């Protein structure tokens, strides 16, 4: 069960955190993985880890905001690994701020990566999938797509768009391509550690605990837990599921 043998999987933002965990797990399950990240060195480190464990992967530097670069990279993936069977749209950036404190530049920056990037990568993948007659797109949204969280105006906007793009893709390509999204609450990634060091120097343990207990289970998730949900939704075992949002939230939605 949950094998991806013979599949070509593209994972964006796979240089660290959730994307890295998804790429590594998919490779362990037999996929040929295209590791995309704006940080070429980070992407290459993920590939080296995968290859060290006996998996197959190749890295490409990709800025998901740039249409010409996205198209070029997806063409290169098809030439090197084969046409795309699975796309995981994981690349994204955060922002803290309310409507009043969010600048136009902040808003545009979040939109370019978190919304336009998902659009461009899905658009580049869909033509390859339709040519094969099948495929899976999995978008990484957020629990914030489903509930309100203070001081996350622009980020909430972007992840809400990811949720509705997911449903639109599912409806438009119902007979050939499945599309779902996952909605994590807080997950302990390198970003969290950097955020705490930059914004709460000397108070990192205190603030880490505060962020952790937001989840009723009393801790953050870890990237591997998200990766296992991604594996299910991209495997043939979930072949009757499309257009859905899957929270992975440590109990946030039930309290």
Catalytic residue annotation: 155
Token pair 């969280």 in the structure block, residue: 149
Closest by CA position to 219, among listed 209, 228, 205: 209
Residue 218 CB neighbours (<10 A): 11
Q: Map residue 56 onto helix, strand or coil.
A: strand
Write down the H helix ranges in 15-86.
17-28, 40-52, 67-81
Q: Are 51 and 57 in contact (CB under 8 A)?
A: yes
Query: Which two three-digit tokens encode residue 43?
Result: 């992407």
- The answer to whether 180 and 168 have CB atoms below 8 angstroms apart is no
Residue 24 near residue 50, CB atoms below 8 Å: yes
SS3 193: helix
Q: Distance (Å, rounded) from C-alpha 111 to C-alpha 117?
A: 8
């Amino acid at each position: 069960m949950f094998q991806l043998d013979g599949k070509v999987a593209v994972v964006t933002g796979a240089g660290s955190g959730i994307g890295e965990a998804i790429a590594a797990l998919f490779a362990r399950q037999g996929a040929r993985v295209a590791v995309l990240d704006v940080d070429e060195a980070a992407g290459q480190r993920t590939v080296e880890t995968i290859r060290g464990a006996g998996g197959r992967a190749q890295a490409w530097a990709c800025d998901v905001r740039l249409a010409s670069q996205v198209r070029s990279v997806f063409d290169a993936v098809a030439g090197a690994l084969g046409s795309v069977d699975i796309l995981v749209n994981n690349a994204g950036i955060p922002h803290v701020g309310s409507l009043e404190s969010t600048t136009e530049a902040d808003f545009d920056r979040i939109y370019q990566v978190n919304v336009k990037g998902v659009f461009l990568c899905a658009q580049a993948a869909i033509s390859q999938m339709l040519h094969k007659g099948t495929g899976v797109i999995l978008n990484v949204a957020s629990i914030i797509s489903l509930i309100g969280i203070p001081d996350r105006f622009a980020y909430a906007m972007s992840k809400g768009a990811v949720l509705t793009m997911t449903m639109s893709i599912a409806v438009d390509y119902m007979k050939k391509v499945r599309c779902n999204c996952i909605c994590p609450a807080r997950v302990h990634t390198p970003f969290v550690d950097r955020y705490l060091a930059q914004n709460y120097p000397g108070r990192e343990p205190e603030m880490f605990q505060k962020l952790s207990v937001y989840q009723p289970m009393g801790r953050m998730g870890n990237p591997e837990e998200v990766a296992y949900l991604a594996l299910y939704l991209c495997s043939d075992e979930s072949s009757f599921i499309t257009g859905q949002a899957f929270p992975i939230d440590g109990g946030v939605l039930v309290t």
